Structure formats: C-alpha cells, structure tokens
Structure 1
Amino acid sequence: MEPQNLHFGITELKMLDTIIKAINKHSEEFSSRKEWLSINEAANYAGVSYNTFIKFRSYGLKVSEIDGVKRVSKKTIDSFLEKYCI
C-alpha cells in the first residue's frame, strides 16, 4: 500500500483541534478524579517540590509501597496537611 498525501482544509483542521481539546479535557478530568497518586503527582497536588514532599515522610506522611511502586492517597495528603495547619 502506498502512502497517501493527506490534505486537510480549514474545516478539517478546526474539527481535529476540537477533538484534541476534548480528549485533553477528558484526560485532565480523569486525572483529577484519581485517588491514589504517584510521588510526583502527590507533590504537585500538595503544591510542593518533590524533595519537600519526600521530607514529609519523615514527619509521618504515610506512603503505600508495593514492589517498589509508591502511591499516596489524596485523603492521606489532605489529613497530613491539616494536621500541620497553624
């Protein structure tokens, strides 16, 4: 089969742009509904750097680790931050 040249008009490009935006929005919404986060995601959720988040563990933040995979629940992060509110 020979490759075909694809030619898109303005209408098709606008439609593709709309589809891509819808997919990205859905992806972001799904991501925000996730309860268990990776360490990087958890640091972003807490609004701190990765290194600061790692320090939180020495203050008692509980992290679930299974076979080297670390996850933290949003509820755990929220409770931990509430505990240290001044």
Structure 2
Amino acid sequence: MNVEFVLSKEQEELIQMKINSAINSAVDQNKSAKYIGREFLRLGEAADYLGIDYKKLKIFTDKCGLKLSVIDGTKFISKKNIEEFIKNFEQ
C-alpha cells in the first residue's frame, strides 16, 4: 500500500530545511566524536576539533599563548590545554 502526500511548496521547503539541519547536526557531532578518547591532537585535528581554520589556530599558538608540544617536528596540542586556553578568555 502506497500513501501519497500533497504538500505546498512552502511545506516542501520547510521539510527540506529540517532535513538539512538534521544532517548538518549529525555531521558536526560526528566530527568531534572521532576525537573522543584521544588526549593529544595534531594541529590540523585540533583546528577541526575547535571548528576553526588552521591559520586561526596558528595565531592562537604563535601569538595568543595556546601551548603545544613538538616531538621530532610533529606538533601536538592537548585537549586539556585547549580547554584551559579557552577558559582564559572567558568574559
């Protein structure tokens, strides 16, 4: 048995917006979920984790005091340092 719905253009657009919103929310949740259980992130991962671009993260590390570790040329930032850094800028 097939059921058909007749929707107005506005109803179709509203449903499409809700679907897009749900998809975007799921993607955002999945991005940060991949870092659960990891204490240290590479710079690109840290930028992704924060939802900022790499250049902005470099400004935070180079000029604003976000601490990082360098091991044999590979740079890491701990999630703990990220949290402390952000808390320092609370208003």
TM-score, normalised by the number of residues in structure 2: 0.59
> Quick check: 1:39 aligned with 2:43?
yes
- How far apart, CA to CA, are the structure 2 residues paired with 1:29 and 1:50? 19
Aligned partner of 1:77 in structure 2 is 82
1:43-58 equivalent positions in 2, closer than 5 A = 43-57=47-61, 58=63
Give a deviation string over 1:12-69, Cα, whole Å, max 9, x none.
Answer: xxxxxxxxxxxxxxxx866421010000111111221110000001111111001101
- After TM superposition, the score normalised by the length of structure 1 is 0.62
Distance 1:83 1:46 in 2: 16
Structure 1 unpaired stretches of 5+: 1-27
How many matched pairs?
59
Root-mean-square deviation (CA, aligned residues, Å) is: 1.7
Q: Distance in 2 between matches of 1:30 and 1:84?
A: 26
Q: Which runs of 4+ in 1 moved over 6 A?
A: none
What SS does structure 1 have at the residue aligned with 2:75? Answer: strand
Q: Which amino acid aligns with 1:50?
A: Y
Uncovered stretches (5+) of structure 2, i.e. residues with no partner: 1-31
Q: Which residue of 2 aligns with 1:64?
A: 69
